[in-house]
């Protein structure tokens, strides 16, 4: 598949099989990620690959975030529901890659550039997964930025999680969605 076809046909795959993924494929995706553009070749990314029981780190982190968000009014029934839903989130794919940005300093502009480069690294992984016949989805949201998530992955004060990439062999092929015409989002000056 050529790169243009890959970009146009890549879709987020939300339902994947639990079949294991060959380690060589995961390593190849990580290699592709490191070829993302990054200002001054800072390479601001870090990756945490979780398979099998290692996904419990993520499940426990999701649970800690959810419990923290509920607060003191936590019943045993609520705890059980939280545990079940958070385990399901962490195990929805056989491989989960937590992607972290390691900021090179406190300068706001540099931090924005480091975050953007790390996002580009994730896109490289998604495109690579598509080319390899894997299904992938990039998940983010409030839990990524919660102190409990940071604690679970032992991130420094100068690091933050920017997303989770879930990988597996597709169980469904997503239907292509219509995109806005480029003319609606482009201004020629």
Would residue 12 count as lying in a domain? yes
Look up the domain containing 124 and give its range.
3-173
Would residue 182 count as lying in a domain? no
> What phi and psi, each to the nearest 5 degrees, are found at residue 89?
-65, -45
Would residue 183 count as lying in a domain? no
CATH number of 27's domain: 3.40.109.10
Strands, E, within the chain: which ranges?
45-51, 95-102, 135-139, 159-168
37, two tokens: 């553009």
Would residue 138 count as lying in a domain? yes
The region that residue 43 occupies, defined by phi over 0 for left and psi between -120 and 50 for alpha, beta otherwise, is: left
Confirm or deny that 111 is annotated as ligand binding. no
Confirm or deny that 140 is annotated as ligand binding. yes
Per-residue pLDDT of the chain (189 residues; tens, 9 = 90+): 899 999 999 999 999 999 999 999 999 999 999 999 998 899 999 999 999 999 999 999 998 998 888 877 778 888 787 877 888 889 999 999 999 999 988 899 999 999 999 999 999 999 999 999 999 999 999 999 999 999 999 999 999 999 999 999 999 988 888 899 999 999 999
Confirm or deny that 12 is annotated as ligand binding. yes
Would residue 179 count as lying in a domain? no
Q: What is the pTM of this model?
A: 0.93
Would residue 106 count as lying in a domain? yes
Domain total in the chain:
1
Confirm or deny that 138 is annotated as ligand binding. yes
Would residue 189 count as lying in a domain? no
């Amino acid at each position: 598949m050529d790169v243009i076809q890959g970009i146009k046909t890549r879709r987020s795959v939300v339902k994947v099989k639990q079949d294991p993924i060959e380690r060589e494929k995961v390593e190849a995706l990580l290699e592709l990620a490191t070829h993302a553009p990054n200002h001054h070749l800072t390479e601001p990314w870090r990756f945490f690959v979780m398979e099998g029981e290692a996904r419990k780190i993520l499940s426990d982190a999701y649970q800690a975030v959810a419990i923290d968000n509920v607060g003191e009014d936590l019943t045993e029934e609520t705890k059980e529901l939280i545990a079940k839903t958070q385990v399901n989130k962490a195990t929805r794919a056989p491989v989960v890659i937590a992607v972290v940005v390691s900021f090179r300093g406190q300068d706001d502009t540099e931090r924005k550039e480091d975050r953007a480069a790390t996002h580009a690294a994730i896109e490289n992984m998604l495109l690579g997964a598509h080319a390899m016949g894997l299904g992938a989805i990039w998940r983010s949201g409030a839990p990524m930025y919660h102190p409990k998530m940071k604690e679970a992955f032992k991130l420094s004060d100068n690091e933050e999680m920017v997303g989770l990439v879930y990988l597996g062999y597709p169980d469904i092929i997503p239907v292509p969605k219509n995109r806005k015409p480029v003319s609606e989002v482009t201004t020629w000056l």
